[in-house]
Amino acid sequence: MISVEEAQMIILDSTRPNPPRRVSLKDSLGLVLAEDVIASVDLPPFTSSAMDGYALRGEDTAQASEESPCRLQRVEDLPAGKVARRKITARTCARIMTGGLLPRGAGAVVMLEETESVGDEIKIKRVVSTGENIRYQGEDVRKGKTVLQKGTAIHAQQVALLAALGFSRPLVFPRPSVAFLSTGNELVPVSKKLSPGKIRDSNSDTLEALLREAGANPVRLGIAKDSRASLRKKIRKGLARDLLLVAGGVSAGTHDLVKEILEAEGVKELFWKVRMKPGKPLFFGKKGKTLVFGLPGNPASSFVSFQLFVRPALRKRMGAREALPVFEKARLAQDLTHAPGRVDFIRAVCERNHGAPGIRSSGMQGSHCLSSLAHANALLRLGENVSKRSKGEEVEALIL
Ligand code: AMP
Ligand code: MG
C-alpha cells in the first residue's frame, strides 16, 4: 500500500492540462488562463472627469477666493459618452459628468457642489489645481502591458479587467468532462422508495455536486448492477471522457468486479489501495488520456477520496499552478486517539473564535456515516506516526 502523498504524486505525474480553447467570458469563470493577457488599449482609454462638475483651466482660478470668486462662462454640457465640440479657452468651462471625455484645453474639474451658477455664469470660490478630479488615459493600464499571466484563475475580479480590455473570448484550459457511476445491487435511485436491503444511491448526487464545485462537466451514467455486463456497458461509455469515476465495487469482496472489468477494457492500473482512513480501497489507472478512479462505495470514503485525489487531478487538468489541497493549521478542541500506520482524515468542525481556529470531530466517523459529513466544514488530518493527540495541540485541516 502506498501513502497519500505517493498516490497524489502518481496522479499528478500522469495528468496533463487539457488543450487550451477559447470560451466566452461568461463561461471562463472558474477556469485558468492559458495565455498572458496583454492590454490592447490604454485603461482608461481616454482622459475623463472623475466627478460631476465643471471642466476648466486651473490657471483661471489662480486668484479665486471666498471673497472674490472667479467667474467662468459655461460653453457646453458634456454627459458621459459625448465628445466636446469646443475647446476650453480662457475664462470658459464646460459642465461635465463623471466619465465624460475631458474637452481639449481643460486641465481640471471642480465638483458641482463647490460652485454656484447663475444662468451660464459659474462662480468658483477657490483655487483649482491642474489635475484635480481627472482620470488620465492609461493611468490604470498601459497598452502593451501584461496584465494577467498564463496560469491565473479567472474569478469575478479578473472578469472585470478582461471585460474592460475587450477580451470577450479568453484562451483557457477547458472544463474536463467527467463520467461517473455508482455500482451495487443494493442501490435504488434517490427518488424511489426503499425496500428491505436497499439503500439510496447517495454517491451519484454527491459526486455530481463535487464535480460541479470543482468546475468540471459531470456526465451521469447512473447505477450499474454488480454484473459484468452492466458494469462493462457503463464503463465503456465513461472511458470516452476525460475522467471516469466508478464508485463502489473496488474492494476485495466477491462482487467487486470493477477492477477486473477496467483491466479487461484496457485501463492500466497505476495504484490500488492507499494507507489512509477512510478511503483505503482506492484504484487509479489510465487508458489513453482518460484517468480512471475506482472510489470506495462508502459515501464518506468516496467524498474524502475525491477531495484528496480527484480534485487535484481536475485542477491539474484545468491548468492550475497549485493542484494539491492546502492544509491549514488549527488547534485541537478535544483529545483524539488514532491507530498508527495510516493517515486519518476526520470529518470536523473548524471554528474561529477571535484567534487561532479550534477544531473538533463533527460526529461518528464510520465511513457509512453521513451526518458527520453533513456537519463538517473541514477534514482534520492525523499523521501516520501518531497514536494520540491532545486538546490544544496544533493539527492540520483541509477547509472544505
Ligand atoms: P462497496 O465499495 O461496493 O463494497 O460498497 C461499500 C459500502 O458502500 C456498502 O455498504 C455499499 O452499500 C455502500 N455504497 C456503495 N455505493 C453506494 C452509493 N452509491 N450510495 C450509497 N452507499 C453506497
Ligand atoms: Mg458494492
CATH of the domain at 346: 2.40.340.10
CATH of the domain at 196: 3.40.980.10
Same domain, 165 and 180: no
Any ligand 1 atom below 6 A from CB of 294: no
Euclidean distance between CA atoms 62 and 315, whole angstroms: 60
290, 317, 344 — which closes off a domain? 317
Domain containing 62: what range?
48-135
Average pLDDT (301-311) is 98
3-state secondary structure of 66: coil
Euclidean distance between CA atoms 240 and 179, whole angstroms: 9
Same domain, 301 and 186: yes
Q: Is the Cβ–Cβ distance between 314 and 244 less than 8 Å?
A: no
Query: Is 80 exceeded by the pLDDT of residue 97?
Result: yes
Best residue among 368, 370, 373 to mutate for probing ligand 1's pocket (most ligand atoms within 8 Å of CB) is 368
Task: State residue 384's pLDDT score.
Answer: 82
CATH of the domain at 37: 3.90.105.10
Query: Is 80 exceeded by the pLDDT of residue 215?
Result: yes
Same domain, 36 and 67: no
Q: Which three cell numbers stand for residue 318?
A: 484545468
**Residue located via cell numbers 477496467:** 262
Cα–Cα distances in Å, from 170 out to 251, 291, 320, 348, 389?
43, 27, 16, 39, 48
Q: Which of 300, 270, 237, 341 is nearest to 12 (CA)?
A: 270
Ligand 1 mean position, distance from CA 238 (Å) = 19
Q: How many domains, the chain?
A: 4
Average pLDDT (250-278) is 93
Same domain, 332 and 219: no
* Residue 323 counted as domain residue: no
Same domain, 281 and 229: yes
Same domain, 209 and 307: yes
Average pLDDT (54-70) is 97
* Residue 322 counted as domain residue: no
Radius of gyration of the chain (CA): 31
Indicate the range of 333-342, 376-385, 389-398 predicted with least confidence: 333-342
Give me the sign of the Cα torsion angle 301, 304, 306, 309.
negative
Q: Which of 323, 276, 320 is nearest to 301 (CA)?
A: 276
Same domain, 250 and 307: yes
Task: Tell me the ligand closest to 298's alpha carbon.
Answer: 1
Same domain, 193 and 216: yes
Same domain, 197 and 258: yes
Any ligand 1 atom below 6 A from CB of 344: no
Same domain, 268 and 379: no
Same domain, 240 and 188: yes
Q: Give the max Cα distance, the chain.
A: 99
Q: Counting Cβ atoms within 10 Å, is residue 68 exposed (0-12), middle (13-18) or buried (19+)? A: exposed
